[in-house]
Amino acid sequence: MSRRDFLLLAAICFVWAVNAVVSRYAIADAGVPPLLLSAARFALAAAVLSPLLRPLPRPLAPLIVVSLLMGAGHFGVLMIGYGLVDALVVAILLQVGIPMTALFSALILGERIAARRLAGIALALAGIVAVLWRPDAHMSGLGAAAVLVAAASLALGSVLMKRLAAISPMRLQAWTSLSSIWPLAAASLAFEPGQAADVLTQPLVFGGTVLFASLAVTVISHTGYYRLLRRYEASLVSPLTLMFPLMTVVLGQVLLGERPDAAFFAGAVLVLAGVALVATSATRPAADHTT
C-alpha cells in the first residue's frame, strides 16, 4: 500500500473513532434519541447523494436488501448500543464482524474456512467473552447484544453485496441512505414517542452529530474505504482498520473519561489478535459443482 493510501486509511479510521465518541456522547449524555439520529443521518446523506439514484439499478430488490442490512440494520441498532455501553466497548465488539463475515461467506457463498481462520474466529470469540464477562461490574447485556447484532447485519450485508451487479461505492451509499430512512423513521415514531422534543433542547449537539455522521462518515469515509477495498486486497486493508478500535479507546479515555480495566484490555487483545488471523489468512474458494 502506498504511503498516501495508508495515510488515507488512517484518516478514515480516525473519523470513525471520532464518530464513535461523538455518537456515544450525543445519545448517552445529551439524550438524543438514537433511532431519530440515525434517520436524520441517512436523510441528509440521501439528499446529498440523490443525483446518484438514477438510473434505477437492475435488479433493485437485492440492492434494497443489502442496503437495509448495511444501513438501518447496522447503524440503527448500533446507535442503540452506543446509548447503553461505552464507546471503547462498542469499538471492540464491532470487530467480531470480520469473523462473522468469514462464517457467512462459508455458509452463503460456499467459501472454505482455513484452519488459521478458524483459529482466529475462536480467539476472537474468546476475547468477546472476556470483554463482556463482568460479574462485579456494570455491563448492559442489551447494549452488547445490540452491537453484536449490528456487526452481524453489516457482515451479512457485505457477503450478500458480492452477489450484486457492479455498483460504485458512492452509489451504494446513496441507496443505503435512501432505503434506511423509512424503517428508522417508523421505528423512531413507534419506540421514541415524544422524544423528538428532546432534540430542541440540544440543537447544536443533534445538528453537529447528524452533519458529521452523514457527511464525514457516510459520504466521505465509507466511500473512501470502499475505494481502497477495490484497489487493494481485503486481506491487506482489513487488518489495518484495527487502528479504529485503538483510536477509539484513546479518544474514549481522553474525551469521555472511560476507564477500561485490565480484563477489558486482555479481552481486547484476544479479539484483535483473532481478527488479525482471520483477516490475513487466505480464503480458499469453494469447489466448483457446476456442470
Mean pLDDT of 274-287: 62
Q: Which residues of 85-97 are buried (b: 16+ CB within 10 A; e: fewer)?
A: bbbbbbbbbbbbb
- The dihedral formed by the CA atoms of 212, 213, 218 and 221, expressed in degrees to the nearest 10: 60
What is the distance between the alpha carbons of residues 20 and 88, in angstroms, rounded to a whole number?
8
Over range 184-202, report the average pLDDT: 83
Q: Is the pLDDT of residue 176 over 90?
A: yes
Most confident of 65-79, 130-144, 153-167, 268-282: 65-79
Q: What is the mean pLDDT of the chain?
A: 83
Q: Crossing angle for the helix pair 243-256 and 3-24, nearest 10 degrees?
A: 40
Q: Half-sphere exposure of residue 197, counting CA atoms within 13 Å on the CB side?
A: 2
pLDDT at 117: 76
For residue 236, the model assigns a pLDDT of 66
The pLDDT, as a whole number, for residue 215 is 93
Q: What is the mean pLDDT of residues 193-219?
A: 86
| Residue-level pLDDT at 281 | 65
Q: Is the pLDDT of residue 272 over 60?
A: yes
Least confidently predicted of 124-138, 211-225, 241-255: 124-138
How is residue 191 written as a grid cell?
419506540
Top-confidence range, 41-50, 133-142, 235-244: 41-50
Per-residue pLDDT band at 35 (split at 50, 70, 90): very high
pLDDT at 145 over 60: yes
Most confident among 92-96, 139-143, 216-220 (mean pLDDT): 216-220
- C-alpha 258: how far from chain center: 21
pLDDT band at 174 (very low <50, low <70, confident <90, very high): very high
pLDDT confidence band for 186 (50 / 70 / 90): very high
pLDDT confidence of residue 164:
79
Phi, psi values for residue 257, rounded to 5°? 70, 20
Q: For residue 288, name the pLDDT band (cuts at 50, 70, 90).
A: very low
Give me the mean pLDDT over the 99-106 stretch. Answer: 83
Measured in degrees and rounded to the nearest 5, phi and psi for residue 215 equal -90, -55
How confident is the model at residue 195, as a pLDDT?
Answer: 73
pTM for this entry: 0.82
For the chain, what percent of residues have pLDDT higher than 90?
33
Under 8 Å between Cβ of 13 and 233: no
The pLDDT of residue 8: 93
Banded pLDDT at 223 (limits 50, 70, 90): confident
> Which span out of 41-55, 78-92, 111-125, 220-234 was modeled with the highest average pLDDT?
41-55
Residue 136: its pLDDT value, please? Answer: 47
Please tell me the predicted confidence (pLDDT) of residue 290.
Answer: 39
Rounded Cα distance, 223 and 246, in Å: 22
Please, which residues have CB within 8 angstroms of residue 87's CB and are 6 or more apart in sequence?
20, 21, 23, 24, 248, 251, 252, 256, 258
